[in-house]
Structure 1
Amino acid sequence: MAVPDPAAGEIRVRIHACGLNFADLLMVKGTYQDTPQLPFTLGMEVSGTVDALGDAVTGLAVGDRVAVFGGQGGLAEYGCFDARRAVRLPDAMSMIDAAAFQIAYGTSHVALDHRARLKPGETLLVLGAAGGVGLTAVEIGKLMRAKVVACARGAAKLDAARAAGADHLIDAATQDIRTEMKALGGADVVYDPVGGDQFIAAFRSCNPEARLLPIGFASGDVPQIKSNHLLVKNISVLGVYWGGYLQFRPEVVTGSLATLMDWYCDGKLKPHVSHVLELDTVAEGLELLRSRASTGKVVIRLADEA
């Protein structure tokens, strides 16, 4: 394919790395809320170098190192993206870290800070705590001084959650979430990228005035919530779609990313990338997500760093 030319307001990026996300699997099936019209190229978030500028682009220059949430087009050597979605990278951030950063950390920070208003000392239950977004929720929850309970399947995934700062661990394969959470005093905030039976168990372990954050449905089961159960404990359910803020309140995303970049530069955040693969093994990378065999992020490398 020919290298594309940027339109007005766009930048062309020589892509170094692309982070894979569970939403890519939904796009393959055509079930994601923002699935583009066919044909399109997968790859929602990239890191790379600005290679060309379209008309009316200001604040960026050819040669700048950037991360971009484009929503599509990342699994390619070059891509043209809206310049307003580009974030200039600090010198200390590698291209691999940058490709793993925006969606996972951005989702967790907006969810816990902007939506749930997580307070110091509250108990945060993170489901799917070893996944791409789950580990970031553990990290950010600790930075926000919550008591973090990480729920994942198996010792290896729980070890990753412990290393990210979890105070308590629940093995979803062998332990009952509701029983374990009741013993810990119940949940004030639930961060849920899993759905299904785990959501129901977490819901039943909530304290009065708890906040539940549906992030996604990796289990494939979208739980149905009975409103009378919300009423009894004054529980709030707060939907979180990070990319949606770019459409109606982009300042929420830009402000959050500025905070997260500062935390990264201060050494407070360390992206967990379990697999770095090459472009010809994208299918293998997607299967790692589908089978939940990865911890943290899977990143596709398209070019070496200069």
Structure 2
Amino acid sequence: MAAAAAVWGRCWSRAWLCRRAGQGCGRHYRAALCAELKQPLAIEEVDPRPVRPHEVRVDVHFCGVNFADILVCHGQYQERPQLPFTPGMEFAGTVLETGTDVSAVKEGDRVIGMSGFNGMAEECVVDHKALWQIPEGVPLREAAALPVSYSTAILALEHRARTQPGETVLVTAAAGATGLAVIDVATNILQAKVIAAAGSDEKCQLAMQRGAHSSVNYSQGSLKEAVRKLVGSGGVDVVIDTVGGDLFLEALRSLAWEGRIVVVGFAGGTIASVPANLLLLKNVSAMGLYLGRYRDQNFPLFSRGLSSAIQYCQQGRIQPHIGAVFKLEEVNDAFLHVTQRKSTGKVLLSLK
């Protein structure tokens, strides 16, 4: 990752950032565009397109910055939009216009959206099914941090791992957006105990402040041995892993009898091979969670996960941690902030 960060540091400098007037006449809005893979994004003024009957135009206030946005701009993500495209998987804003077939939301409603890649713009047009209303008492800023991280945490813990009260959950990259969401949901919703694994003492301290029962700095030695010192030879019941590579293998070896490990990403850049004998010896389960696939394969479950996150936030049972907010024209700086592992919690772009 250090080499990757160096490349991004050279590549994503402000000198590349530009703003060009869009063609045509009338109102324009600014958008971050990826015109060429592995190159910095440009801020351009573009023409708004008409809203189809089932669509909604949203005035975007905040957009989440996810590692997947960086991967897709490098051509390394599962989905590969046609160039040029605007990244941005999640956003919060207000409804500007609705199509003739839309009745669930109306002009002026506050909404969060989660669809494809189009959120890093002052406006975006999405299918009405990709929007959820924001209840009173939930600020737009916090709402923007919910869709990806908290939907992932809820589905990983509840749907895939079937986490039970009192169980021990180990989460890697614990100070990241998904890691902190896992701590929040596991601790405050599921009443589980969380061991937070992170790469620095500062990140471990943040994870503890956010509700983790204990922490491990895996940059200082073996994750497996550190976990053993905390829980004994029995191991942990659940692992939520976002890192991959050798850390995944150590986490796998830290599982208890009939433990479950859920793979949600490969932030470390390496995909590990699963030794099948480890699954057999302790009857453990290894499974994956690709959140976007649920949107297509099981939309009711996908929707329930995000709806639950919104409800928990309104009730004050969870509290998203926002680590940094960048302006739209600072999008390349935001990407670099993530790739250099400086980020904690959710990183947002502010469009206002």
Task: Report the alpha carbon displacement of residue 92 of structure 1 after superposing the two structures with TM.
Answer: 1.1
- Kept after mapping to 2: 8 A contact 1:19/1:299: yes
- 1:147 equivalent in structure 2: 193
- Kept after mapping to 2: 8 A contact 1:215/1:240: yes
The yes-or-no answer on 1:169 pairing with 2:218 is no
- Kept after mapping to 2: 8 A contact 1:13/1:79: yes
Task: Report the alpha carbon displacement of residue 172 of structure 1 after superposing the two structures with TM.
Answer: 1.1
Among residues 324, 334, 337, which one is paired with 1:288 in the alignment?
A: 337
More displaced stretch, 278-287 vs 92-101: 92-101
Q: Write the deviation string for residues 26-52 of structure 1: whole angstroms up to 9, x where unpaired.
A: 101111112212111011111111111
Among residues 240, 244, 251, which one is paired with 1:191 in the alignment?
A: 240
Among residues 254, 271, 275, which one is paired with 1:205 in the alignment?
A: 254
- 1:71 equivalent in structure 2: 116
Give the structure-1-normalised TM-score: 0.97
Letter in 2 for 1:9: H
- In 1: Cα distance, 2:130 partner to 2:204 partner: 34
Q: Size of the alignment, in residue pairs?
A: 303
Equivalent residue runs for 1:15-34 within 5 Å: 15-34=60-79
- In 2: Cα distance, 1:98 partner to 1:33 partner: 26
- Kept after mapping to 1: 8 A contact 2:132/2:307: no
- In 2: Cα distance, 1:281 partner to 1:71 partner: 22
- In 1: Cα distance, 2:66 partner to 2:80 partner: 13
- Kept after mapping to 1: 8 A contact 2:86/2:120: yes
Task: Report the alpha carbon displacement of residue 176 of structure 1 after superposing the two structures with TM.
Answer: 1.8
Letter in 2 for 1:296: G
- In 2: Cα distance, 1:18 partner to 1:176 partner: 36
Moved over 4 A (4+): none
- 2:172 equivalent in structure 1: 127
- In 2: Cα distance, 1:292 partner to 1:86 partner: 30
Equivalent residue runs for 1:1-306 within 5 Å: 1-143=46-188, 144-183=190-229, 184-185=231-232, 186-303=235-352
Letter in 1 for 2:348: V
Q: Write the deviation string for residues 237-259 of structure 1: whole angstroms up to 9, x where unpaired.
A: 11101111110111112212222
What SS does the corresponding residue of 2:62 show, helix, strand or coil? strand
Unaligned 5+ segments in structure 2 are 1-45
Q: Write the deviation string for residues 148-172 of structure 1: whole angstroms up to 9, x where unpaired.
A: 1000011221121011100011001
- Kept after mapping to 1: 8 A contact 2:146/2:306: no
Q: What is the RMSD computed on CA atoms of the aligned residues?
A: 1.0
What SS does the corresponding residue of 1:269 show, helix, strand or coil? coil
Q: Write the deviation string for residues 55-80 of structure 1: whole angstroms up to 9, x where unpaired.
A: 31121101110000022111111110
What SS does the corresponding residue of 1:218 show, helix, strand or coil? coil
Letter in 1 for 2:104: G
- Kept after mapping to 1: 8 A contact 2:195/2:216: yes
Letter in 2 for 1:141: A
- In 1: Cα distance, 2:92 partner to 2:193 partner: 33
Task: Report the alpha carbon displacement of residue 83 of structure 1 after superposing the two structures with TM.
Answer: 0.5
- In 2: Cα distance, 1:157 partner to 1:71 partner: 30
- In 1: Cα distance, 2:296 partner to 2:139 partner: 28
- Kept after mapping to 1: 8 A contact 2:184/2:211: yes
Task: Report the alpha carbon displacement of residue 3 of structure 1 after superposing the two structures with TM.
Answer: 1.8
- In 2: Cα distance, 1:224 partner to 1:166 partner: 29
What SS does the corresponding residue of 1:150 show, helix, strand or coil? strand
**Identity across the alignment (%):** 37
Letter in 2 for 1:82: D
What SS does the corresponding residue of 1:238 show, helix, strand or coil? strand
Letter in 1 for 2:351: L
What SS does the corresponding residue of 2:288 show, helix, strand or coil? coil
Q: Write the deviation string for residues 247-302 of structure 1: whole angstroms up to 9, x where unpaired.
A: 01111122122222221112111111111110110011111111110100110000
- Kept after mapping to 2: 8 A contact 1:4/1:79: no
Q: Write the deviation string for residues 211-257 of structure 1: whole angstroms up to 9, x where unpaired.
A: 11000000000011022221121111111011111101111122122
